[in-house]
């Protein structure tokens, strides 16, 4: 009987291959099979040696061609067949990556696993545009939120608690629901003119961003016609972008009253 191998739940980071960890790179070189998500960049996929089996299990918003329970079972089958398996996820496996769900299935099936952390989009995107998530006198904490819930159910947050002005909010996967999120925050006491930003394809050559306010964020993000992943940052730290961010000449020429567009 073939002995089950260890499944490595590996974070690919935000997309820039130079932000991939040394351990993640080594595991990709040694893998028999890489089971990967949609948000893993082409540049990182290019690091996988020729001949390695690649299995795409990527999801789109409101479109999950391969349900999560089937992904879980796939990892178990591959490990029990003795394959060296890397489960490659954008960002960090344990930050809105469903890595914990896969880990629980592996434990229940008697398969060993190891988590290899990756740089999550929040810290990568914030650094790329000069918006620190915390800053003395502006933000003493940060909260990560998902912009959609399980099976596209109603967003059910502690909206009043999210309006703490000393906390930076970072919203993952929120493009479809940003209008609802900003409206609910304002309804529960957030300042409509609170600085806010949207960052598209952060840390990659295709990076773009807008700087806006809470009440204009949804409209400005829609007008930007983003393609690819978008991360939202809400809080006073967004104002530091004017001092710490690097704008291109084109971005400065296209600056608008409600939104500054960067690349």
63 bridge partner residues: 60
On the CB side of 173, CA atoms within 13 Å amount to: 19
Question: Which of 37, 92, 215, 220 is an active site residue?
Answer: 37
Residue 43 CA to residue 46 CA, distance in Å, equals 5
Question: Which of 32, 45, 59, 164 is an active site residue?
Answer: 59
Q: Is 32 a catalytic residue?
A: no
Q: Is 59 a catalytic residue?
A: yes
34 bridge partner residues: 54, 86
Answer yes or no: are the C-beta atoms of 14 and 125 closer than 8 Å: yes
Residue 92 CA to residue 170 CA, distance in Å, equals 15
Residue 75 CA to residue 142 CA, distance in Å, equals 33
Question: Which of 16, 89, 173, 215 is an active site residue?
Answer: 173
Residue 171 CA to residue 231 CA, distance in Å, equals 6
SS (H, E, C) 57-116: CCCECCECCCCHHHHHHHHHHHHHCCCCEEEEECECCCCCCCHHHHHHHHHHCCCCEEEE
C-alpha closest to that of 100 among 90, 85, 115: 115
Q: Is 37 a catalytic residue?
A: yes
Answer yes or no: are the C-beta atoms of 73 and 101 closer than 8 Å: no
Residues 82/52/229/200 CA torsion (nearest 10 deg): 140
235 φψ region: left (φ > 0), alpha (ψ -120 to 50), beta (else): left
What are the catalytic residues?
37, 59, 173
């Amino acid at each position: 009987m073939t002995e089950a191998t260890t499944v490595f739940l590996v974070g690919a980071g935000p997309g820039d291959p130079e932000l991939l960890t040394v351990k993640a790179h080594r595991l990709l070189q040694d893998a028999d099979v890489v089971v990967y998500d949609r948000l893993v960049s082409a540049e990182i996929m290019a690091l996988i040696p020729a001949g390695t089996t690649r299995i795409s299990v990527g999801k789109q918003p409101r479109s999950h061609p391969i349900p999560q329970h089937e992904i879980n079972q796939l990892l178990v089958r591959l490990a029990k067949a003795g394959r060296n398996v890397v489960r490659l996820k954008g960002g960090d496996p344990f930050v809105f990556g469903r890595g914990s769900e896969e880990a629980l299935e592996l434990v229940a099936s008697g398969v060993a696993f190891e988590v290899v952390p990756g740089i999550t989009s929040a810290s990568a995107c914030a650094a790329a545009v000069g918006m620190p998530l915390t800053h003395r006198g502006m933000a003493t904490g940060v909260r990560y939120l998902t912009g959609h819930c399980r099976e596209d159910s109603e967003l059910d947050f502690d909206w009043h608690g999210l309006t703490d002005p000393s906390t930076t909010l970072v919203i993952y996967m929120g493009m479809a629901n940003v209008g609802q999120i900003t409206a609910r925050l304002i309804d529960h006491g957030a300042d409509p003119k609170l600085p806010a930003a949207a960052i598209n394809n952060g840390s990659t050559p295709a990076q773009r961003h807008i700087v806006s306010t809470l009440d204009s964020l949804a409209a400005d993000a829609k007008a930007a016609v983003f393609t690819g992943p978008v991360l939202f940052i809400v809080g006073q730290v967004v104002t530091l972008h004017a001092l710490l961010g690097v704008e291109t000449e084109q971005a400065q020429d296209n600056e608008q009253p409600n939104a500054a567009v960067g690349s």
